[in-house]
């Protein structure tokens, strides 16, 4: 009986990538001819296998939008809003960049159309800074840069203990 259960889950695991046809897909700039996000063309859209909580993502984009109203983002640094296990992020590869809540919303619409509304992914703009807007989960890499010079960032939850008892991830 144990062998049967093991084989069943092994077989199921082999089928999952086939079932999840929209996961881990990259769309090139040819797919987006003429589509502009705040007067900038899209150079790439990537969808990942991870699923996101859309309510948490919406709250995360609101947090990032509030930040973007007052500050620029530094090059080679991810700016991340974490709500629950979902991340909303923006990155700039080259120079200081002005991020925008409107651009985040438009990038999210592109991700919804190409990846699905609950799938992690990012949109890279074809601008001098190679700005990237994305959504993901804590364990996923963030801000892979086109030059290959920047390491992917990972954010992992930290367990919280009160009086020796684990009370949550933060």
Q: How confident is the model at residue 99, as a pLDDT? A: 81
Residue ranges with strand state E in the chain: 25-28, 36-37, 40-51, 72-73, 77-83, 86-92, 97-98, 119-125, 132-137, 160-162, 165-168
Q: Spell out the residues 6+ positions from residue 68 whose beta carbon is closer than 8 angstroms to its own.
A: 90, 98, 99, 100, 101, 104
Which of 21-25, 56-60, 128-132, 143-147 shows the highest mean pLDDT? 56-60
| pTM, rounded to two decimals | 0.70
Instruction: From 123, 140, 128, select the one nearest 26 (Cα to Cα).
Output: 123
pLDDT tens digit sequence for 136-152? 988 777 777 665 544 55
Query: Is the predicted pLDDT of residue 97 greater than 90, yes or no?
Result: no
């Amino acid at each position: 009986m144990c062998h049967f259960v093991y084989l069943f889950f092994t077989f199921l695991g082999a089928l999952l990538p086939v079932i999840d046809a929209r996961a881990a897909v990259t769309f090139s700039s040819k797919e987006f001819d003429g589509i502009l996000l705040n007067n900038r063309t899209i150079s790439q859209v990537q969808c990942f296998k991870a699923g996101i909580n859309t309510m948490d993502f919406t709250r995360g984009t609101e947090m990032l939008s509030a930040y973007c109203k007052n500050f620029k983002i530094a090059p080679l640094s991810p700016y991340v809003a974490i709500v629950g296990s979902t991340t909303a992020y923006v990155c700039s590869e080259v120079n200081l960049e002005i991020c925008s809540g409107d651009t985040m919303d438009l990038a999210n619409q592109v991700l919804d159309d190409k990846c699905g509304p609950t799938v992690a992914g990012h949109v890279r703009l074809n601008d001098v800074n190679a700005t990237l807007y994305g959504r993901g989960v804590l364990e996923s890499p963030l801000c892979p840069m086109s030059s290959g010079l920047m390491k992917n960032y990972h954010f992992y939850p930290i367990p919280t203990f009160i009086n020796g008892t684990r009370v949550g991830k933060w």
